[in-house]
Amino acid sequence: MLLKKNAKLILEDGSVFYGFSFASESSVSGEVVFSTGMVGYPESLTDPSYKGQILCLTYPLIGNYGIPSEEKDRYNLHKNFESYKIHVQGLVISDYSFNYSHWNAKKSLAEWLKEHKIPGIFGIDTRELTKKLREKGTMLGKIIINGKDTNFFDPNKIDVVKEVSIKEPIVYDPKTISQNPIQNNKSIKNPYAQKNKKIILIDCGVKNNIIRNLVKRNLVVVRVPYDYDFFKFDFDGIVISNGPGDPKICKKTIENIKKAIDKEIPIFGICLGNQILALAAGADTYKLKYGHRSQNQPCLMDGTKRCFITTQNHGYAVDTKTLPKEWQPLFTNINDNTNEGIKHKTKPFFSCQFHPEATPGPVDTEFLFDEFVKKLR
């Protein structure tokens, strides 16, 4: 069957890439980014950190193992996805596999994208696109299907975290079998308070596996909206999650973390959480030229010779030169020497720019969750 090139990707510099539509017949715009991961597209597409972005996957063949089941765990979290929906604006790939095969596959990638009304384009030169983004930096773009044009959209200009954060608090208790909404913002009564530490998880677009990693360490997790006043609760520590966009837009989150620092409450930041912790400490952040998105980023733990291979998805970084004297880098990216984590020299505050919970990717740095538990009062 002869396919007609009915789709194209247009970049803000005027570049045009022609291809074929294989998913939703809708035109979208967003920030065009690339990921070099070979596998893990179900997890990546459901990562809220990709909200507002058009994702280009550099691996040449995508879709060959389909999409897994939507089975949920005891906490009503999807086992095979990192949230309840696809968050990318659109998907750009080189070659789409119309035939898939995997023991856990329930549907094709195209079927899944259509269900979520997400467009996909294949048949373009993703190598050329990636080289352009590496040379000129991340750019805005739009996927046009069947000539239906749309305006450029920049997700970094809006409070995109607000769109992916929950609206009301939820508690995950290792002693229960499901998630429990907190009613009327009342204090949480934990019947296992003497045995289980309770932590606040600030949801800036949290991935499911972060929640699982916390609960399996016998922590009661109180997941709250990114701008929520959580000081009304009794708790032992704070985790700031991953999320999309410019960290400086999360003004209320930064304000709350400043208060937590003053109170010397143990804090662990992940990805966007690393940047928010740095801003709350008085440091600065900046936008990377094309970001880090892959499952093979090498990070060196400062002061050691230990290098970890990490999963990453971010477009901003902490400027270590602006860290106050009480703070220091914790990890550094070996590829470009950008910051990958910070810590306070004497107090229980630390963070990482990469994803210790993985999904997808290596689990080499999952021990950081254990380090956080050790810091709880």
Catalytic residue annotation: 271, 355, 357
State the DSSP H helix or E strand holding residue 183, giving kind and residue range, or none if neither.
Answer: none
Tokens read off for 283: 């440091």
- The answer to whether residues 316 and 286 touch, using CB atoms and an 8 Å cutoff, is yes
> What whole-number distance in Å separates Cα of residue 174 and Cα of residue 218?
6
Decide if 238 contacts 204 (C-beta within 8 A).
Answer: no
371 phi, psi to nearest 5 deg: -65, -40
Check residue 266 and give left, alpha or beta (phi > 0: left; psi -120 to 50: alpha): beta
Please list the alpha-helical segments (H only) found in 14-108: 41-45
**232 to each of 107, 255, 313, how far by Cα in Å?**
45, 15, 32
Given a contact cutoff of 8 angstroms between Cβ atoms, the answer to whether 332 and 338 are in contact is yes
**Quick one: how many helices (H) and strands (E) in the chain?**
8, 22
